[in-house]
Amino acid sequence: MSKDEKFIITVKSNTKDLYAFTKLVSERKKRIEKASTEPITSDPINDLARRLHPERQFLVINEIRDETKSTKTFRLIPDPDSSTKELAYFRAGQYVSLKVEVNGVNITRPYSISSSPDDALRGFYEITIKKEKSGFLTNFIWDNWKIGTKIESSGPEGYFYYEPLRDFKKIVGIAGGSGITPFRSLIKHIIDKKLDINLTLLYGSSEEDDIIFYQEFKGFEKKLLNQIKIVHILSCETISLKGCEQGFITADIIKKYCEADNSSFFICGPQVMYNFIEKELKKFNLPQKRIRREAFGEIKDIAKFPDFPQGIANSTLKIKVQIGGIVKEIPAISTESVLVALERANIAPPSKCRSGECGFCRSLLVSGSIYVSPISDWRREADRKYNFFHPCGSYPVSDLEMSVPRKVN
Ligand X SMILES: Cc1cc2nc3c(=O)[nH]c(=O)nc-3n(C[C@H](O)[C@H](O)[C@H](O)COP(=O)(O)OP(=O)(O)OC[C@H]3O[C@@H](n4cnc5c(N)ncnc54)[C@H](O)[C@@H]3O)c2cc1C
Binding residues (CB under 6 A) for ligand FES: these are 351-354, 356-361, 390, 392
| CB of 354 closer than 8 Å to CB of 95 | no
What's the rounded Cα separation, in Å, for the pair 294 and 156?
A: 14
Residue of 57, 73, 128, 153 that binds ligand X (CB under 6 A)? 128
What's the rounded Cα separation, in Å, for the pair 367 and 149?
A: 42
Residue whose C-alpha is closest to residue 108's, from 119, 118, 97, 117: 97
State the burial class of residue 291 (Cβ atoms within 10 Å of its Cβ: 0-12, 13-18, 19+).
middle
292 contacts ligand X (rule: CB under 6 A): no
Residue of 89, 118, 135, 303 that binds ligand X (CB under 6 A)? 135
Provide the pairing of β-strand 245-246 with 228-234: parallel
Q: How far is the CB of 404 from ligand X (least distance, A)?
A: 16
Scanning 133-141, 311-319, 373-381, 390-398 for contacts with ligand X by CB under 6 A, the matching segment is 133-141
Give SS3 for 363: strand
Alpha carbon distance, N-terminus to C-terminus of the chain: 42
Residue 117 binding partner per list ligand X, ligand FES, none, with a CB distance cut-off of 5 to 8 Å that depends on partner kind:
none
Residue 79 binding partner per list ligand FES, ligand X, none, with a CB distance cut-off of 5 to 8 Å that depends on partner kind:
none
Q: How far is the CB of 337 from ligand FES (least distance, A)?
A: 9
Mask 180-219, x = binds ligand X (CB under 6 A)?
-x--------------------------------------
95 contacts ligand X (rule: CB under 6 A): yes
Q: In this structure, how many other beta carbons lie within 10 angstroms of the beta carbon of residue 346?
A: 15
Q: How far is the CB of 313 from ligand X (least distance, A)?
A: 14
Residue whose C-alpha is closest to residue 348's, from 294, 402, 286, 291: 402
Residue 297 binding partner per list ligand FES, ligand X, none, with a CB distance cut-off of 5 to 8 Å that depends on partner kind:
ligand X
Q: How far is the CB of 110 from ligand X (least distance, A)?
A: 4
347 contacts ligand X (rule: CB under 6 A): no
Compute CA distances 137 → 101, 131, 142, 398, 402, whole Å.
9, 9, 9, 28, 26
How big is the site for ligand X, counted in residues (CB under 6 A)? 30
Q: How far is the CB of 358 from ligand FES (least distance, A)?
A: 3
379 contacts ligand X (rule: CB under 6 A): no
Residue whose C-alpha is closest to residue 306's, from 374, 232, 231: 374
Mask 156-185, x = binds ligand X (CB under 6 A)?
--x-------------------x--x----
Whats the size of the chain, residue-wise?
Answer: 409
Q: Which residues bind ligand X (CB under 6 A)?
A: 95, 105, 107, 109-112, 128-130, 132, 135-138, 158, 178, 181, 294-298, 336, 340, 343-344, 353-355
